[in-house]
Chain A
Amino acid sequence: MIRIPALSFHAWPCNTRQTPPTTPRENWLFGWLSIVALIIVGCSSPTAEASSVPLDVPPALAASVSGARSPATDVEQPDDGLADSDAHSLTQSTPAERETPPPASTATAVAKATPAPPVAPNPFIDQISSLPPAPQGLDALVGDPDPQPVRLRIDRLDIVAATVIDVGVNEDETFEVPPADKVGWYRFGPSPGQAGSAVLAAHIAFDGVDGVFRHLEDLKPGDRVEVSYDDGSTSAFLVESITEYDKQSLPDGLFAKDGPAKLALITCGGAFNRQLRSYESNTVAIAKPL
């Protein structure tokens, strides 16, 4: 079932762009990062194994760190650069210190002289939110499947115990409708009763033989639909609506993988196009868990 041959390898566009000539600024960054990397390694790996992590900083880069910093900063960050901000705070602190009363002043004076500087609210902190951590390892990725539907009962339509099989899509991405005497559960969507829209589809007629959903349009709101699962359990649904849609205009939510649990029963309806040997519409019954 799994097709590998279509695999394609997308090399990153990095292959088309090689390292540009490094500017002093970039050297500065690289150098600092290298140093900082050493610090991280030093802090995080106190054991002797830490030395196995590459520690060698290219001498040229290391040299450029100290040599390139000032000019690079001056050239590339004339206004709002970090270095300039630091410079501002330094110069601003000087007059503040001058205004500080002499040590002999009273306690109240001291308190008055050293008010906490107004802390500007961080403009970003409220816009960043934590997400659940990324799963680690590959063991837990393939979970246990939900119980799958195996039988369908709809008294109104004299469907006593129709066989339900799991189906997917055909080569042309159309729904893989099972033989006329069976009902197909779309296995890429939820199982009936789980979150989202579970789909059961069956023929109305195939090669002159009535399908299981031959009379689906006769369902009435409130009719009971029962689904039995492969774990022996059964759940009941009540029909809410029966709608005929143009085949090309099925509602978006019909195959929803999340949202409120509902059960969609689908067959064909409307006019039969003898030339295409196809119906122009789909009859869709929506049922909700009882």
Chain B
Amino acid sequence: MRKLATIVAAVVALLSTAVAFTTQPAGAQGARIHLLHGIPGVDVDVEAGGSNVFEGFSFGDTQDLSSLAGETLTGLKVKVAGTDTVAIEAGDVELPGSGNYTVIAHLDGDGTPSLAVFENDTSTIAAGSGRIVVRHAAAAPAVDITANGDVAFSNVLNGQEGSADLGAGTISAGVVPTGETSPVVIGPADLPITDGSSLIVYAVGSLADETLTVLTESIADLGSAPAAVNTGNSPVGQSNTALVVVAGLAAAVALGFAPRLSRKRS
């Protein structure tokens, strides 16, 4: 039985995320595993356990495999939709027992359909910040990713990603070939940096075929509440208390002495 990591290594020669799978301890912690279709224009059926588990899987479609965490998908095949033409013969695939992954069917740098596994960073994000992750999953050369006009990540290859936690708000992001300003691969476009959320942007499609586009994915609830709400730096009624005391004394004086004075006068 081969792990998905092995398949990725063998089929795609994209060894990067293999580490994540092989080092991931299988356990009952639960996992979040999404399968994303990132090849424009190709519909597929996916078979496992001897029959189709879902059909007509189209570009952008997403399937949730989380319930199968720690289990082994036997006889996994990706077939051209409505046919028996096997696109990917994946064999038995052991899914991790814990962790957060997105498996994307995409084109590698040469335009060959491939599976890539990205482990999603679900570490806690500071209050007031959001996470942006840009992943190169397109048949395109190395790219630079720009943020607000500056190159934020340079020379990003297919299968690689750039990631940053930024103050919540909006940034203008774009993708261009490394060291160039054109042709524009993506954008620049406004991206929301949302407090406590991770926005994952996949560059997919093919530069040569002019099918480049993006898919996005969000992971929420990674944020923090403000560390504290410090709504006071002075004791309440400091000045008021003094006034009350003064007023009280004045009243006492008035009540206590005024009659005496008046009596004296009388």
Q: Which residues of A contact B (CB under 8 A)?
A: 1-4, 6-15, 17-20, 22, 25-26, 29-30, 32-34, 36-37, 39-40, 43-45, 49, 52-54, 80-82, 85, 119-120, 122-125, 127-139, 141-143, 168-169, 172-175, 177, 186, 188, 201-211, 213-214, 247-248, 250, 252, 254-255, 257, 266-268, 272, 274, 277-279, 282
Task: Decide: A213 and B231 in contact? CB cutoff 8 A.
Answer: yes
Extra contacts, 12 of them, besides A188-B168, A211-B231 (Cβ < 8 A), are A4-B164, A6-B164, A7-B166, A12-B16, A128-B53, A128-B65, A137-B213, A138-B214, A138-B216, A173-B126, A177-B231, A247-B228
Q: Which 9 residue pairs across A and B have the least CB separation, nearest first?
A: A14-B16, A12-B16, A188-B195, A26-B10, A268-B232, A138-B189, A169-B128, A127-B67, A255-B225
Contacts A2-B148, A255-B226; A33 near B88 (Cβ below 8 A): yes
Q: Which residues of B contact A (CB under 8 A)?
A: 1, 7, 9-11, 13-19, 34, 36, 41-42, 48-51, 53-54, 58-65, 67-68, 71, 73-75, 80, 83, 85-89, 91-92, 110-114, 126-128, 139, 147-148, 150, 152-154, 156, 159-171, 173, 186-187, 189-193, 195-196, 199, 201-202, 206, 208-209, 213-217, 220-221, 223-240
Ordered by A's residue number, 23 sampled pairs between the chains whose C-beta atoms are within 8 Å are: A1-B169, A4-B164, A7-B147, A13-B16, A14-B17, A43-B83, A82-B89, A122-B49, A124-B48, A124-B71, A124-B73, A125-B51, A131-B62, A134-B60, A136-B215, A138-B190, A141-B216, A142-B191, A168-B168, A169-B226, A188-B223, A208-B234, A210-B237
Residues of B within 8 A of A37 (CB): 87, 112-113
Residues of A within 8 A of B36 (CB): 134
Closest to B34 in A: A131
Closest to B16 in A: A14
Residues of B within 8 A of A40 (CB): 42, 80, 87, 113
* Alpha-carbon separation in the docked complex, A210 to B237 (Å): 7
Task: Decide: B60 and A133 in contact? CB cutoff 8 A.
Answer: yes
Task: Decide: B163 and A136 in contact? CB cutoff 8 A.
Answer: no
* Alpha-carbon separation in the docked complex, A125 to B167 (Å): 41
Contacts A14-B16, A53-B209, A266-B231; A142 near B192 (Cβ below 8 A): yes
Task: Decide: A266 and B165 in contact? CB cutoff 8 A.
Answer: no
Q: Which of A169, A204, A210 contacts B240 (CB 8 A)?
A: A210
* Alpha-carbon separation in the docked complex, A80 to B61 (Å): 31
- Chain A nearest Cβ from B122, distance in angstroms: 14
Contacts A124-B68, A138-B201; A203 near B148 (Cβ below 8 A): no
* Alpha-carbon separation in the docked complex, A45 to B208 (Å): 13
- Chain B nearest Cβ from A164, distance in angstroms: 15
Task: Decide: B168 and A25 in contact? CB cutoff 8 A.
Answer: no
Task: Decide: A29 and B167 in contact? CB cutoff 8 A.
Answer: no
Residues of A within 8 A of B223 (CB): 188, 257
Contacts A17-B16, A37-B87, A133-B62; A177 near B51 (Cβ below 8 A): no
Residues of A within 8 A of B89 (CB): 29, 32-33, 36, 82
Residues of B within 8 A of A36 (CB): 85-89, 113
Residues of A within 8 A of B186 (CB): 138
Residues of A within 8 A of B164 (CB): 4, 6-8
- Chain A nearest Cβ from B163, distance in angstroms: 5
Task: Decide: B49 and A123 in contact? CB cutoff 8 A.
Answer: yes
Residues of A within 8 A of B10 (CB): 22, 25-26, 29-30
* Alpha-carbon separation in the docked complex, A135 to B190 (Å): 15
- Chain A nearest Cβ from B252, distance in angstroms: 25
Q: Which of A53, A202, A203 contacts B208 (CB 8 A)?
A: A53
- Chain B nearest Cβ from A91, distance in angstroms: 18
Closest to A36 in B: B87
* Alpha-carbon separation in the docked complex, A122 to B68 (Å): 13
- Chain A nearest Cβ from B19, distance in angstroms: 5
Residues of B within 8 A of A207 (CB): 233-234
Residues of B within 8 A of A277 (CB): 233-234
* Alpha-carbon separation in the docked complex, A132 to B215 (Å): 12
Task: Decide: A131 and B60 in contact? CB cutoff 8 A.
Answer: no
Contacts A120-B50, A172-B227, A188-B168; A52 near B209 (Cβ below 8 A): yes
Q: Which of A14, A25, A119, A266 contacts B229 (CB 8 A)?
A: A266
